[in-house]
């Protein structure tokens, strides 16, 4: 396992940045270890909803978790607003960092992560392949 640490800057799109990082570093299987920071715009897809929701304001990142690779990604985020209300959902493209986003991630050595359409769910689900 190899670890990486990166900081995203104001205006960066977290999803795009992480996907690009995976491609640039040829990551076959990566996981998020920790993330702290803030967002000024968050694009989410809430559970069991077809359409995205965009929230504008100042939000703290309470948690970001996910699995990703140069072949695709799947991230869930929890954010809180100034009143402490917390929202959790799929993180989508179009979100924007407010002040900072500090990420530590790990690349796994013995597997590859692909996204494959699952006819049972209708979504591109994780396909784990062993590297021998």
In a domain, 128, yes or no: no
Q: What's 53's domain CATH number?
A: 3.30.1330.80
Is position 51 within any domain? Answer: yes
Is residue 32 within 8 Å of residue 105, measured between CB atoms? yes
Q: What is the 3-state secondary structure (H, E, C) of 43-86?
A: EEECCCCCCCEEEEEEEEEEEEEEEEECCEEEEEEEEECCCCCE
Report yes or no on 126 lying in a domain.
no
Has residue 132 been placed in a domain? no
The pLDDT of residue 56 is 98
- Count structural domains, the chain: 1
Domain region containing 65: 2-120
Q: Does 92 fall in a domain?
A: yes
pLDDT digits (tens, 9 = 90+) for 60-93: 999 999 999 999 999 999 999 999 999 999 999 9
- Please return the burial class of 8, using the count of CB atoms within 10 Å of its CB with bins 0-12, 13-18 and 19+: buried
- Evaluate whether residue 129 is within a structural domain: no
Residue 127 lies in a domain: no
pLDDT digits (tens, 9 = 90+) for 17-45: 999 999 999 999 999 999 999 999 999 99
**pLDDT reading at 13 higher than 90:** yes
pLDDT in the model for residue 59: 98
User: pTM of the entire structure?
Assistant: 0.93
Rounded CA gap, 6 and 131, in Å? 26
């Amino acid at each position: 396992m190899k670890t990486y640490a990166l900081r995203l800057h104001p205006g960066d799109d977290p999803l795009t940045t992480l996907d690009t990082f995976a491609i640039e570093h040829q990551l076959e299987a990566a996981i998020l270890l920790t993330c702290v920071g803030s967002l000024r715009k968050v694009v989410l897809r809430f559970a069991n909803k077809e359409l995205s929701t965009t929230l504008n304001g100042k939000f703290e990142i309470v948690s970001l978790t996910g699995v990703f690779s140069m072949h695709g990604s799947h991230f869930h985020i929890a954010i809180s607003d100034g009143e402490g209300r917390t929202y959790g959902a799929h993180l989508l493209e179009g979100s924007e960092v407010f002040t900072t986003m500090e990420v530590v991630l790990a690349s796994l050595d013995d597997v590859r992560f692909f996204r494959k359409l699952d006819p049972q769910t209708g979504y591109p689900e994780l396909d784990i392949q062993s590297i021998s």
